[in-house]
């Protein structure tokens, strides 16, 4: 992480860190596929993941004056999360846990994006990310 702090201003460091973090979480979640109580574990895994992502993104917002790196990182993150959550909702016994995890994730992202819009000099990246996120979530989660 110390090496990546040096390149955070270009946004690629945050993207690499998120890919590494999400790869670790994916391997943990795949190992839990056989467990009966996976819905609760998925919620805990997503809370842990998003707590880590929140700290990375908060640090990047302070360093970066352009939201493009954050935009790329968030698009990659939520594309991955959406694909996993779609797979989980197909498992009927685990649908409630997946729905709770997705609602918690969406609530957390909304609060972070509102916070980010206030701090970026150019809020266009944050606004585009927020619109993309809302559109993606509407296709997954019934209102």
| Percent above pLDDT 90 for the chain | 0
Taking only the tens place, the pLDDT of each residue in 22-58 is 666 555 555 554 554 556 666 666 666 666 666 666 5
Which residues lie below 8 Å from residue 57, measured CB to CB, with a gap of 6+? 14, 70, 73, 74, 112, 116
pLDDT at 29: 52
Domain ranges of the chain: 38-140
Q: Where are the alpha helices (DSSP H) in 1-143?
A: 2-5, 12-31, 38-63, 68-89, 95-119, 124-140
Taking only the tens place, the pLDDT of each residue in 49-80 is 666 666 666 555 555 545 566 666 777 777 66
**Has residue 7 got a pLDDT over 50?**
no
How many angstroms separate the CA atoms of 96 and 39, rounded? 7
How many angstroms separate the CA atoms of 143 and 138, rounded? 7
């Amino acid at each position: 992480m110390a090496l990546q702090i040096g390149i955070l201003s270009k946004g690629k460091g945050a993207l690499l860190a998120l890919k590494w973090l999400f790869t670790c979480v994916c391997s943990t979640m795949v190992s839990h596929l056989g467990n009966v109580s996976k819905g609760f574990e998925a919620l805990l895994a997503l809370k842990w993941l998003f707590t880590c992502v929140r700290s990375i993104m908060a640090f990047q917002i302070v360093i970066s004056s352009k939201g493009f790196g954050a935009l790329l990182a968030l698009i990659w993150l939520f594309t991955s999360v959406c694909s996993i959550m779609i797979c989980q909702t197909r498992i009927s016994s685990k649908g409630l846990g997946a729905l709770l995890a997705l609602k918690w994730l969406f609530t957390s992202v909304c609060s972070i994006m509102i916070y980010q819009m206030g701090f970026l000099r150019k809020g266009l990246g944050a606004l585009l990310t927020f619109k993309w996120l809302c559109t993606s979530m509407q296709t997954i989660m019934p209102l």
